[in-house]
Structures are given as C-alpha cells and as structure tokens.
A and B are shown apart, each in its own frame.
Chain A
Amino acid sequence: MLNLDNINLYINDKVLFKGLNLTINEGEIHVLMGKNGIGKSSIAKTILGDQNYKVEGHIYYNGEDITNLNIYERSRRGIYTISQMPMEIEGVTNAEMLRTVISNRTTEPLNILKFNKELEIICASLELDKSFIHREINVGASGGEKKKVELMHMWMLKPSFIILDEIDSGLDVDAIKLVATSLKKYYEEYHPSILIITHSSTLIDTFSDYHVHLLDKEGIIMEGNQDLAHEILTKGYKNIIKNEHLL
C-alpha cells in the first residue's frame, strides 16, 4: 500500500533522514515511536505531501509513485491525517467543507438529507454535539472536541490510509478511550492502513496486532511488534537506544 523507498528528507536544506525505508501493507497498523523532535511528524507530513519538505527517493502508494503529488492529490487517493493540533478555519463550517469535498468526488448531486443524517449519526457516536456540524472548523473547540471533529471528517471522507500524529496528547482518559473506540470501529468496518505516532499505550493497545518502528537520528533503528512498544514505554527511549547501539 505505502512504500517509502530510500528517502532522503530535508527541510530548509537541513538533512533530517538519509536512506529511510518503510513499508505499510493494506490493512496493517504501524506505530512510529521516538524521542521528541526526532522527526516523526516530519515523516507524517512527508507522506501527506507537505511541500516544506524536500524529498529524494520515492514514495509509492498502491504501486503509484506519488512523490511529486501535492497534498490534495494524495488526499484524493485516500491519504488522511489527524494531527495533534488541528487547524482552526474561521468562516468555513464542517458541513460546508465536507459537502464541497464530497460533491467534487462525484457527478451525482449530493443528497443533503442523507448527508445531514449521516453526520448526525457520526456526531452521536462520537458524543459530539450535533451543532458542530454547522460550526466553523475547530474554531473555539477544546482539544478533545477538535479530535472528535477530525474523526467526524474521517468517517465522512472514508480514507484508506490514516496517519494519527500524537492525537492522544492532551486528551483525558475518557476522551482517549472514545477516540480509540471510534478508530477501532472504523478499522473493523473499512480496514484502512494506519500509521500511529504516539508516546503512550492507551491508543495502540486498542488494536490487537501492530508493527512498531523506533526512530532515531539514523532513521528506523529497531522494528518489532507490541512487545517492543511496551518495552520502550517501560524502559524509556534512552535505555532502549543505548542498548541497541551497544549491540
């Protein structure tokens, strides 16, 4: 599904990574872990198509080279991200944005009643007041509400590859649980590939099976499964990375 092939990544002419490789197959869940500032979000943004990053090498999505495609073109192919700090868009409502995106995907006229009903059902499942449907995107919303709004977008847009960039940061226990439940339900229904960037086990332990990649300055230095994630979370990045370098 997604393949980062020998990627050299730069920002403002500064090298972030050399020779980075990562393969995520259809329906797989991958977790990217690493110290703060090591470049996890940069990788997420690179996959999304952020033009601030210069990429050498190739990014393939479903066999297609998407290295030179912009954010919109990648989004149209099903790549979607939820970041830890979703943008606030003054003057643009959630309904208006979603209506425009969905209308642009098809030549058939949008059934507004069905569209609104679907949004109301999604809001109810996310315990999000339905007034958010016609509210400006994330404007004045709390951290927890913003994540729920992003999940509402996800359910409506039905992406096939989802990047979750520390979406559990700043959420209380109940909110993380609700977000995790919604993601699991989406996964069971649509089987997307998911790349999770996180420092905690709450979200990832919702899923029974996942791949873990430990990122350091040299790139991905360790790979494993949930056991590695729990080892990292128990021992800390410093100890794990030190031991890895001693081997």
Chain B
Amino acid sequence: MNKILVSDIIDLNNDSYIINSKNNKIVLNILGNVKVYLINEVIDDITFDVKEKSNLDIYLFNKNVNNNLVINIKERNDSLVNLNFSIINNANRELIVNNDMIGNNSKSVIKGRIISNKDLIKVIINVNVFSNTLNNIALEDLKGINNGGFVQIEPNITCLTNDVSANHLTSIGNLNKDMVSYLMSKGLNEQNAKNLMLKGFIYSNMDEYIKNLGDE
C-alpha cells in the first residue's frame, strides 16, 4: 500500500494507493491494475483517466466530510472501473459522479451506500456511454438511509449507442423496523441494534482495509 501526496496530475501503475491531495483538484492517470483509497479526504474535484486495458477499484469513504465533491472517470477500451463509495454525513453535501465510457468492451460498476444523519445528501450519478462504442456494461447499485436527515439520489445512465448493457438499482428508506426488532430479540437495545445496522450498511461495500480501520 502506497500513501501518496498528489498536487495536480500523477500516473498510478499496478498498485494500491491511499491518496492525500494537496490541492482541491487532482488528476490520476490509471495504468494497469490499480486500487485507490480516498478516506475522509477533503477534495473538490478528482479525475480518473483510465487507460486502455486497465482496471481501477476506487474505495471512497467519507464520514462527516462536508465539502461537495465531483468525481470524473474517463474509461477507454477494455477497461474496468469499480467505484465503491460510502458517505455518512450530518450536514448538507453533494456528490456528483461523471463516468464517461468512451471506448469499447469496458465495464463500470458503481456501488454507493449513503446515510444522512442530518440535512440533505444529494448524489448524482451520470454514466455516459458514448456513441459509436461497442459492448460496454454499466451497472449502478445505490442505496440510501434517511437517519434523521435525507438522501436524494439521481441515477442517470445515458446510452448513445445500441450495443450496451445497462442496469441500475436505487433505493432510499429508513432503517427496517423488523430488522431492528430482530436484533433486539437477540439481546441488543434499540440504539445498539440501529448502530450495528448502520455500521454494517455503510461498510458493506468497503474492502477489508477500510473495514479494519472502522473497527479500530
């Protein structure tokens, strides 16, 4: 795992990186198999330029980071992008993801888990499959929990070609009362049951590295 300080533009090759940004706007060129962690990083604009035949896994974890964030992803031929983000906030916040699929034979999987404890968290996902592209796949799996605040999700997939497979799942709701009762029946008080469910929800799309940080 490499911890790197990024000031503007940097090439990332075949490794895992924890990103610290020096500026509010950075560009990461992705070559090979790359894993990027953005953990409670205060940043306004980040661009991933995913080169041909490259695979990118992004783990974005934000707890009470209140600045608005725009993520731009450019996918070229034969690339794979897995964007996993988890946001838990107690103030207004906006996240915009622009995923441009400009090549062929690429796949984009965007999974988001969002909890709003107060105010509004607005998430806008724009996956754009460009014209004259072939055999791309775009998947969105976005879930939000209103836990005292509100979550708003706009899942957009724009396909300007016929040769694409696209699917999205979006749900927003409150904590399931039956599940809370189930955990209470095992011997957890209501608050502990809710906390365990919220923790499980927010870490459900994070990898072991971030889960372990959460346990500490």
Contact of A100 with B184 at beta-carbon distance under 8 Å, contacts A89-B179, A92-B197, A136-B200 already known: no
- Of residues 53 to 105 in A, which have CB atoms within 8 Å of B's CB atoms? 70-72, 75-76, 80-81, 86-87, 89-93, 96-98, 100-101, 104-105
When chains A and B are docked, how far (Å) is the Cα of A45 from the Cα of B150? 32
Contact of A71 with B204 at beta-carbon distance under 8 Å, contacts A89-B179, A92-B196 already known: no
Q: Which residues of A contact B178 (CB under 8 A)?
A: 87
When chains A and B are docked, how far (Å) is the Cα of A2 from the Cα of B192? 27
- Of residues 181 to 202 in B, which have CB atoms within 8 Å of A's CB atoms? 181-190, 192-193, 196-197, 199-202
Let me know if A75 and B200 touch, CB within 8 A: no
Closest to A82 in B: B185
In the assembled complex, how far is the CB of residue A24 from the closest CB belonging to chain B, in whole angstroms? 18
Asked if A48 is at the interface of the complex by the 8 Å CB criterion, the answer is yes
CB-defined interface of A41-58 with B at 8 Å, one 1/0 digit per residue?
000000010110000000
When chains A and B are docked, how far (Å) is the Cα of A76 from the Cα of B186? 8
When chains A and B are docked, how far (Å) is the Cα of A93 from the Cα of B204? 11
Let me know if B200 and A92 touch, CB within 8 A: yes
Closest to A163 in B: B185
When chains A and B are docked, how far (Å) is the Cα of A92 from the Cα of B197? 6
Contact of A100 with B185 at beta-carbon distance under 8 Å, contacts A87-B179, A91-B200 already known: no
CB-defined interface of B152-184 with A at 8 Å, one 1/0 digit per residue?
000000000000000000000000001101111
Asked if B203 is at the interface of the complex by the 8 Å CB criterion, the answer is yes
Contact of A97 with B188 at beta-carbon distance under 8 Å, contacts A89-B200, A92-B196, A92-B197 already known: yes
Chain B contact patch, size range: 20 to 34
Most chain A Cβ neighbours within 10 Å, of B200, B202, B204: B200
Let me know if B187 and A104 touch, CB within 8 A: yes
Let me know if B181 and A50 touch, CB within 8 A: yes
Let me know if A101 and B187 touch, CB within 8 A: yes
Asked if A153 is at the interface of the complex by the 8 Å CB criterion, the answer is yes
Q: Which residues of B contact A70 (CB under 8 A)?
A: 184, 190
When chains A and B are docked, how far (Å) is the Cα of A100 from the Cα of B200? 13
Let me know if A75 and B187 touch, CB within 8 A: yes
When chains A and B are docked, how far (Å) is the Cα of A98 from the Cα of B188? 9
Let me know if A91 and B204 touch, CB within 8 A: yes
Asked if A157 is at the interface of the complex by the 8 Å CB criterion, the answer is yes
In the assembled complex, how far is the CB of residue B36 from the closest CB belonging to chain A, in whole angstroms? 23
When chains A and B are docked, how far (Å) is the Cα of A61 from the Cα of B196? 29
In the assembled complex, how far is the CB of residue A135 from the closest CB belonging to chain B, in whole angstroms? 12
When chains A and B are docked, how far (Å) is the Cα of A105 from the Cα of B188? 10
In the assembled complex, how far is the CB of residue B87 from the closest CB belonging to chain A, in whole angstroms? 15
Q: Which residues of B contact A91 (CB under 8 A)?
A: 197, 199-204
Let me know if A96 and B196 touch, CB within 8 A: yes
Extra contacts, 5 of them, besides A75-B185, A90-B200 (Cβ < 8 A), are A75-B184, A76-B187, A91-B202, A97-B188, A136-B200
Residues of A whose CB lies within 8 Å of any CB of B are 48, 50-51, 70-72, 75-76, 80-81, 86-87, 89-93, 96-98, 100-101, 104-105, 136, 153, 157
Residues of B whose CB lies within 8 Å of any CB of A are 178-179, 181-190, 192-193, 196-197, 199-204
Top 6 closest pairs, chain A to chain B, by CB = A91-B200, A92-B200, A91-B204, A87-B182, A101-B187, A72-B184
